[in-house]
Amino acid sequence: MESAIEIRDLTKSYGEVHALDGIDLDVPQGSFFGLLGPNGAGKTTFINILVGLVRKSGGDARVFGYDVEDDYREARDVIGLAPQEHNVDRFFPIHEILVHKAGYHGIPESEAKARADEVLKRVGIYDKRDTRFDWLSGGMKRRFMLARALITDPDLLILDEPTAGVDVQLRHELWETIIDLNERGTTILLTTHYIEEAERLCDEVAILDSGRILEVASPDELMDRGTDDIVIQLRD
């Protein structure tokens, strides 16, 4: 079966800094895959290459068979990204932001409006559809960023620390939504600092450190193999 993400000898340097130093990785279709690593490990750089925000220095990166640079339009349409930062038009009503994003992906307006309603319901903030982004609470902003990632009905959903700094209740609610998406067939790539989040959600986890993959294993295997020192680093 074709991999959802297929990475071969991927490198990225910023001047002297080797943010990614020769990565090989296969993320199976339909899996819930975790990318763990301490600050500065290269997680965001990796994600930004997948979504076409950063150019790689070398190697190969494919998403559902599409080269992330040569076939960037096709790749862009199968990936949904919920980034850490809220890089949206904060003065606009959230429903409008979603319709605009759908239009950017070539989705006709009537369909875009219906999809926007659907994804806002899915994440539980439909009643806020006419509220501008910067008037949402922190937790609602998180939910909205997930809705925004879902507007194109992506095959691969990338979540960059989706529950960093949120309270326990919201964390569990977001987990439920994400698990449901995975059960419906969406492949998920999640970065997190919370080992318990990886244990709870992920089938497989890759540990990234200083731009290299140290291990790929199930969360249980990682614990058994005694990678506790890495895990402890991730906790802070």
Interacting residues toward ligand ATP by CB under 6 A:
14, 17, 19, 37, 39-45
**Least distance between ligand ATP and beta carbon 230 (Å):** 13
By C-beta, is 43 or 143 nearer to ligand ATP? 43
**Least distance between ligand ATP and beta carbon 39 (Å):** 3
Q: Say how far apart CA 47 and CA 63 lie, in whole Å.
A: 11
Cα angle, residue 212 at apex, residues 188 and 25 outer, rounded to 5°: 40
By C-beta, is 131 or 210 nearer to ligand ATP? 210
**Least distance between ligand ATP and beta carbon 208 (Å):** 7
**Least distance between ligand ATP and beta carbon 13 (Å):** 9
106 CB neighbour count, 10 Å cutoff: 10
Q: Residues with Cβ < 8 Å from 215, sequence gap 6 or more?
A: 205, 206, 207, 222, 225, 227
By C-beta, is 53 or 114 nearer to ligand ATP? 53
By C-beta, is 20 or 150 nearer to ligand ATP? 20
By C-beta, is 39 or 137 nearer to ligand ATP? 39
Question: Do the bridges between strand 204-209 and strand 3-14 make them parallel or antiparallel, or are there none, so unpaired?
Answer: unpaired
User: For 54, how many CA atoms within 13 A lie in the half-sphere containing its CB?
Assistant: 20
**Least distance between ligand ATP and beta carbon 97 (Å):** 24
- Give me the amino acid identity at 221: E
Count of residues for the chain?
Answer: 236
Run of H or E including 80? strand 79-82
Query: Which parts of 37-193 are beta strand (E)?
Result: 58-63, 66-67, 79-82, 156-160, 187-192
